[in-house]
Amino acid sequence: MRPVDVVIACHTPDRPVGRAVASVLSGNGDLADVTVVCHNTPVEDIASAISPDHRNRVRLVEHRDVHRSASGPFNAGIDSSTSPFVAIMGSDDMLMPGAVASWLTVHRRTGADMVLTRLALGTAAHGVPTPAVRILHHGAADLVRDRLAYRSAPLGLMDRSMLHRSGARLVEGRTVGGDVAMVTRLMATETTAYDAWGPPYVIGEDAHDRVTLVRRPIREQLGFFPDLLDADWFTRLDRSARAAIGTKLLRIHVFGAVFYRADPGVWTQDERTGLAAITATVLDRAPRCHRPLSRADRDLLDACLDPQIPAPVLIAAARRRRRHGRISTLVPRQLSALGHREAPLRFMAASLGVRWLPRIAGIAHRSGATR
């Protein structure tokens, strides 16, 4: 048994699950085993999509439930694992060679129970700049100072004994956001580190049937908010941690839900009422989370809170906040928040560091190796 069990959930052999398996075993197989959980699909169908060279290294588990989300099969794979550490992985995704070794190195250095992996989109060179951590900080990460709340999935290394002790699990039955409460809880309450310099986990762009890409009623789209905001662990957090989580919920999930609903006809009175109620709940549970938002963000926030504002005005506000580089997107409504770590200027500077510094360091390393 190797120290890490990478759990891959797959619901159809049409997904590139064979590529995902190969990325673990070919580039990380000295330290990682693979469990593929076949979700509502016969084991033999998924096995046929895996290279014969790899099948004897893969543990295939069949899991059946009534949900489309991957939370159930991921939980089943973690529950059945006996390795000291586990990691979850989408069947469309890949691990770059050496990623698992890098996670374990960070764990040994920091003692972290969870090591968040660096992410890339499509290719290893296309880094994802979230979370916008302190890139030169090498110790354990902090939810607030390292803006960890912007990581919405528990991708990376997790100590299985910690998961058992904490009882943290993915929420089954959520069509969207079943992983958000789990990863946010762990980052807020357990020792967490970020592997800023290691090889990335690459998010695949092959699939066109991801359940998270389907537009749903707003109460369903943001239905996972109570998993965080009403949880005992959330209410026990200090004010700054609750505010940091609230800022992220507004920026990424609420504002994102509006932006991708650009048809005024979608915004029925029921949808607007739901949006207003959910947004108000965030402000109530996470006081002052709106303070570092840009002027354009605040304009959109005002529109979200008022169902009587016409839908075209709401949609226009969502578009304006994405016109980056303008004063309205760079400066908070409250100038005293200009230097806040969540305010646009500091946030964007940190994001650029996460995106570019590991790449620059990799180029420098390769250049030195060839001299």
The answer on pLDDT for 370 being more than 70 is no
Q: What is the pLDDT of residues 209-229, one digit of tens each?
A: 554 456 789 999 999 999 999
The answer on pLDDT for 47 being more than 60 is yes
Query: pTM for this structure?
Result: 0.93
Q: What is the pLDDT of residue 367?
A: 53
Domains within the chain, CATH numbers bracketed: 4-212 (3.90.550.10), 215-340 (no CATH)
Q: What is the pLDDT of residue 107?
A: 98
Q: What is the pLDDT of residues 83-113, one digit of tens each?
A: 999 999 999 999 999 999 999 999 999 999 9
Stretch among 203-217, 279-293, 304-318 having the lowest mean pLDDT: 203-217
- In three-state secondary structure terms, 59 is strand
Average pLDDT, stretch 123-149?
Answer: 93
Q: What is the pLDDT of residue 369?
A: 47
> Which residues is 192 bridged to in the sheet?
114, 141
Q: What is the pLDDT of residue 355?
A: 85
Mean pLDDT of the chain: 93
Q: What is the pLDDT of residue 371?
A: 46
Share of the chain above pLDDT 90, in %: 88
What number of CA atoms fall less than 13 Å from residue 206's CA on the CB side? 13
